[in-house]
Amino acid sequence: MIHAALDTSLGSALVVADGDRVLFNNHLAGTGRESDRELAPWLKATLDGLSLRLNDVCRWTVGTGPGSFAGLRYGIALVKGFCAISGATMRGVPSCLALAHAALADAQDARRIGVLHDARCGQIILVRFARGTAATLQLSGEAVVLTPEELLVEQHRCDHYVSAQTAALPALPEAVAARLLSCAGIDARALLNAPAGLWPWPQNPQELMASCEPLYVRPPVFVNPQPVKIPQI
């Protein structure tokens, strides 16, 4: 059974597997609108390179964030379109689960991991995970938006922190920064292998909508568009 996972929260990450055998695991270079425009051709080229058709992918897992507002919407909508065409099943898994799993590689004794994401405006998104049996991770409470000062108050709830945006985060309290691990990006294999007991496969349209709802946490921060020069024809 061919299963693929796509995440567009921080750029684009894709993994394609045939059962337990990983056929492809890589990232699309770049971020933002240019990366979004290249995403569909990149996915097609990847499947072509594996001698696979879209209909060969039986299951899709898509990352739901938190992350880029436009990137998440586009990635989720694209996979929904694929599934509508091919009849494949689809589920959503929080993108930050991959970062929490990456933290376990460097902090194997950690039981509680906090994933930090830049919320702009001097704030931070915190998503907490608790370690269960067999090294599984499950969400611990809802994602919250905090100031660095509020994060310091909450810091006793996590053994370690991890972020793929360490350079973009506001200045962190020393007690938090000392336990912060840096991750290069999303490894979509963690989403692909997310246990169905915690992130089940939807059985009806209502469950699909709930499963694939982007984890926005807060309203988007809009940036005024820059003027575009129209070339003379």
Longest Cα pair distance anywhere in the chain, in angstroms?
Answer: 64
pLDDT in tens, 86-101: 999 999 999 999 999 9
pLDDT in tens, 177-230: 999 999 999 999 999 999 999 999 999 999 999 999 999 887 655 555 556 455
pTM: 0.90
Residues paired with residue 124 on neighbouring β-strands, in sequence order: 118, 146
* CB atoms closer than 10 angstroms to residue 198: 13
146, two tokens: 């905090």
Domain 96-182, second-level architecture: 2-Layer Sandwich (3.30)
3-class SS of residue 26? strand
**CATH number assigned to the domain with residue range 2-94+187-211, chosen from the 4 options 1.10.274.100, 1.10.3720.10, 3.30.420.40, 3.30.450.20:** 3.30.420.40
Average pLDDT over the chain, rounded to an integer: 91
Q: Which stretches within 29-136 are classed as H helix? A: 32-49, 69-86, 96-106
Residues paired with residue 144 on neighbouring β-strands, in sequence order: 126
